[in-house]
Chain A
Amino acid sequence: MFQRLNGPQTLGNGRGFWIGALAVFAVAVAFPAVADPYDVGNFAYFLIWIFMALGLCLMWGYGGMLSFGQTFFFGLGGYGYGVIEINIGAAHGGSLAALVLAVSVAALAAAILGYFMIYGRIGGVFFGIVTLSTTLALAAFVGQTAGPEWTVGTARLNGFNGMQGMSPLQLPWFGRDIDLEESALYYFLLVLLAATYVGLRLLVNSRFGNVLVAIREDPQRAELLGYDVRRYQLVTFVIGSLLAGLSGALYTAWGQFITPSSIGLPAAAMPIVWVAFAGRSDLTATFVGTFVLLFAFQTITIYSEQSALVLMGLLLVATVLFAPRGLMVGVGQSLTRSFAKRGG
């Protein structure tokens, strides 16, 4: 098991890395004991977005598919959770069922959209603009659902003002439901995120991951070696988009509301900025870099949201021009090299 976590597709494979990772995890576990509840809720909010960043990292960094559609699936997951939860209620595992169903809706949509794009051999820049167009169309659609006729069961979509009135997640626990709020939600997200990270590391270091990277490097050669390139790409697209759906469903459960502005621009550009800045070729770099950017973005947003977004744009331009492989990957690689030097 431990061997399979490590491999050529990830940075940080040594004993030192894993000791450090466990230490970070231990600090994260201890955090609610020392921090005030507001900060805990805030950190839970940061964790929510990392799922979709990891999904984009898998698709773009490992699979070579630059998708601008993460917030499309985020929106499907988020609105899906709201609609389903409002209709079936949160009790007796209802909210968890809503979470699973909402993520399934996002995965199904990814399978359909992905089938047409990947089997239609839409590649390169067109993959980006088709996914972005789909995202903007969803945002425009949800934006005009203000009227009372736009209800699904008892759930009202409510246009630009956003959908609200859903319950937070509840964990069924021996006849008594535990509300997942504040530190309980934080722990739930922490465990889910750690499991996702470990699962993705297993995936990219497996045979599947090696084939995926081979396809990224040269699709034609991979195809001539007998691999069904499009099937690998479709599976990757579904997994990456599903994680965006998970982010969306968790976001709605966290804040108990969602608006179309979570789907359209500039929201759709954010995952791209995080992953490009962090370094798309590595999961750990994406994880750390996304967390750092979310923290910085929120700090600046207190003064001016527009300025924070301008800075994000500048950061994207600067990253592409001066550090096209991403900043965190560079840091990670030099750390790895210095460890290797000391060890050898």
Chain B
Amino acid sequence: MSGDLFSYIYQFADVFAFLVLSAAGLAIIFGMMGIINMAHGEFIMCGVYVTSATYHMGLPLVLAQACGTAAAGLVGVVLEYLVIRPLYARPLDSLLVTLGVSLIATQGTLVILGSTFPGIGTPLGSFDVGAYTFSTYRMVLFAAAIGVLGFVYVLFMRTGFGVQARATMQNAAMARALGVPTSRIYALSFGIGAALAGLCGALYAPTMNLIPTMGAGFIVEAFVTVVVGGASVLLGTAPAAAVLAIIRSGLNAWYGQVIGQIGLLIAVILIVRVLPSGFSGWLARRSAS
């Protein structure tokens, strides 16, 4: 395989992984409860910080990443219980509450930990294809993104929890009447969404500078992927991430990161004009008719 061709595939895989990993947690929470978690970036930041802190305490990187994921998930469950639960009937208000939480988390972290935090060097080194050198860790990230999609598939399609969760998604009142503990399903879904955000942070921790406002660097991509994808992770987030990754990696290669982001946003606004309920709504309509 020539280096140029592999380079395009590599860049596509890199952007695809970023979009899937940053959006999966947001999409699960949105799909389940219709809530957009504005503190999503701060859950990612939580994953990054806990990963780095436990890594520097001496844990191997993989265990530190597991700690980051678990910490974000626990914070998610607590937050759901304290402030999200009273607002399930008011999705716009939950947008506001999570925005408030996001402010508290970023600025509070700045107050407590200051503006810098020790980072982690990127592990695993590099490999060569043709004339180019590529980071091995980026390929691990791509594999992790595929792994997350597989995990979500198994969780929602092959487990008892998944059956109850899908029932709650389709008709919460009916599910409750049939004995599904919907509020526990909601709490668990929020926790899983937050944990996936934490996993995203944990995985990207070795590639970034650690600052409390770093969550803002993830949420634009996460938001637009969910806007284009719609309510389903498997039928929405995955195809949306694939399409957006083609657009984004092309723009990145020719015009740089910032133009890539702006182009991505413009593409999203144009796509939504044509497909108001996103890919998953469009796919659902096609399969229904």
Contacts and interface: CB of A to CB of B under 8 A. Distances in A.
Interface of B is mostly: helix
B227 A269 contact: no
A125 B104 contact: no
A257 B35 CA distance: 38
Contacts, number: 130
A316 B97 contact: yes
Nearest to B262: A137
B96 A120 contact: no
Given A137-B261, A137-B265, A324-B90, A313 B95 contact: no
A23 interface: no
Nearest to A145: B258
Contacts of A315: 100
Contact of A117 (B96, B213, B269): B269
B92 interface: yes
Interface residues of A, number: 43
Given A125-B34, A316-B96, A321 B86 contact: yes
A287 to B, nearest CB: 20
Nearest to A66: B92
A11 interface: no
Given A113-B269, A136-B216, A128 B276 contact: no
Contacts of A196: none
B233 interface: no
B100 to A, nearest CB: 3
Contact of A314 (B92, B100, B272): B100
Q: How large is the interface on B (under 10, 10 to 19, 20 to 34, 35 or more residues)?
A: 35 or more
A200 interface: no
B36 interface: yes
B177 interface: no
Nearest to B92: A66
B111 A304 contact: yes
24 contacts: A116-B272, A116-B273, A124-B91, A125-B92, A126-B227, A129-B36, A130-B268, A133-B220, A133-B224, A136-B219, A137-B220, A140-B261, A264-B216, A265-B102, A272-B99, A310-B104, A310-B111, A312-B103, A313-B101, A315-B100, A317-B97, A320-B97, A320-B100, A321-B83
Interface of B: 30, 34-36, 38, 83, 86-87, 90-93, 95-97, 99-104, 106-108, 110-111, 213, 216, 219-220, 223-224, 226-227, 258, 261-262, 265, 268-270, 272-274, 276
Given A133-B227, A321-B97, 13 more contacts: A120-B274, A122-B276, A128-B95, A129-B223, A130-B227, A132-B38, A310-B107, A312-B103, A313-B101, A316-B103, A320-B100, A324-B90, A324-B93
Interface of A: 66, 113, 116-117, 119-122, 124-126, 128-130, 132-134, 136-137, 140-141, 144, 264-266, 269, 272-273, 276, 304, 306-307, 309-310, 312-317, 320-321, 324
